[in-house]
Amino acid sequence: MTTAAVPGLPEPGRCLVMGVVNVTPDSFSDGGAWFDPEKAIRHGLDLVTEGADIVDVGGESTRPGAQRVSQEEELRRVVPVIEALVAENVPVSVDTMRAEVAEVAVNAGARLVNDVSGGLADPDMPRVVAAAGVPYVVMHWRGHSHDMQTRAVYTDVVREVREELAHRVDAVLQEGVDPSMIVLDPGLGFGKNPQTGHNWSLLAHLDAFTSLGHPVLVGASRKAFLTRLLAEPDGTRRPFGECDDATVAITSLVAAAGAWCVRVHRVRPNADAVRVAAAIRAAGPASAAGPVSEDSHDAGASAGYDIGSPRL
Ligand code: PMM
């Protein structure tokens, strides 16, 4: 289980909380609430007040079926928001699949590039990230939103997602990305079928990803598999915005299982959850056996924590 520190980002000695600011009119989870730049900036600052360690700013919706926006429009949406948050010393990540957007964002002060395509959408991305020397979230992805759900076909979802991510790691290393800068993400909801349990299998085997030797980020917040899980008896799905308690439950479990970071829309209860998970880990058998560094997320795995076992 690896949750090593990532250069240039906070190291609170627990799972980090990344708060989401979608500067889009059409993201599925928050439906355009932060499309106005002033509102987006205010929202980012509010998320920090609620306990976000990082604020993830994105200008392109990745909801299933979404069409792409132009690069100019993406830049127009995200740059002013990133600049304003950076001016307030907020650790900002940019959620983009475009190398040029990543480059402009990093020049504006973004500290992390969050690429849901793991370098597949724009072949220049890994080289640009390597040159920028910033951490890079490499997410599992099988294609753009307009048809990604047709690619959600697996014989063994955990093995295949792990192998495909491992290939992406090799590819970005070849392009010069430093291994210490790589963060992995199984890509819940992206090319995963919410009706067949793909997302639950990935969550149940987080160790398959932490064992690849890089910190792991989990983005479960308000995803469609939660709206189905929490559906009414007549099948009416729970609205996205009413899946936050379930998101917090996942946060607790993945934080205990060694996730490095969770990406969430409602920060405060998730910030509470990661602190609870850290407190339980710190009080576990490894602590009784000897002092556990507050920074060590790895200590529990070898000591065999009950909660904190890498397998959920
Ligand atoms: N999910 C969304 C957008 N960006 N980034 C990472 N690394 N992981 C995710 O799971 C992820 C992401 C889609 O969610 P949203 O549009 O509701 O914010």
Query: Structural domain boundaries of the chain?
Result: 16-293
What does the pLDDT look like over 123-166, one tens digit per residue? 999 999 999 999 999 999 998 877 777 889 999 999 999 999 99
Residue 150 per-residue DSSP state:
G
d(C-alpha 22, C-alpha 35), whole Å: 7
Contacts of 158 (CB under 8 A, 6+ apart): 201, 202, 205, 208
Question: 16-293: which CATH architecture?
Answer: Alpha-Beta Barrel (3.20)
Residues 21, 40: contact at Cβ < 8 Å? Answer: yes
Protein residue whose Cα sits closest to atom 13 of ligand 1? 62
The verdict on whether 192 is a catalytic residue reads: no
Residues in the chain: 312
Nearest Cα neighbor of 118 from 139, 142, 102, 132 is: 139
In this prediction, residue 28 carries a pLDDT of 61
Q: From the CA of 95, how far away is ligand 1's center (Å)?
A: 8
Count Cβ atoms within 10 A of the Cβ of residue 62 and give its class: 0-12 exposed, 13-18 middle, 19 or more buried.
buried
User: Average pLDDT of the chain?
Assistant: 89
Among 18, 29, 95, 113, residue to substitute to test ligand 1 (most atoms within 8 Å of Cβ) = 95
Q: From the CA of 302, how far away is ligand 1's center (Å)?
A: 31
The verdict on whether 63 is a catalytic residue reads: no
54 sits in which H/E element: strand 54-58
What does the pLDDT look like over 214-247, one tens digit per residue? 999 999 999 999 999 999 999 999 999 999 999 9
Residue identified by tokens 């559906």 is 231
Q: From the CA of 206, how far away is ligand 1's center (Å)?
A: 17
Residues 184, 214: contact at Cβ < 8 Å? Answer: yes
Q: From the CA of 222, how far away is ligand 1's center (Å)?
A: 10
The encoded tokens of residue 126 equal 């890994």
d(C-alpha 137, C-alpha 147), whole Å: 22
Collapsing DSSP to helix, strand or coil, 110 comes out as: coil
d(C-alpha 172, C-alpha 123), whole Å: 10
Annotated active-site residue in 263, 266, 268, 281: 263
**pLDDT above 80: residue 29:** no
Q: What is the maximal distance between C-alpha atoms in the chain?
A: 56
Residue 311's CB is within 10 A of a number of other CB atoms, namely 9
Protein residue whose Cα sits closest to atom 15 of ligand 1? 29
**pLDDT above 80: residue 286:** no
Helix boundaries (H) for 31-124: 37-50, 71-87, 99-107
d(C-alpha 191, C-alpha 85), whole Å: 32
In this prediction, residue 301 carries a pLDDT of 34
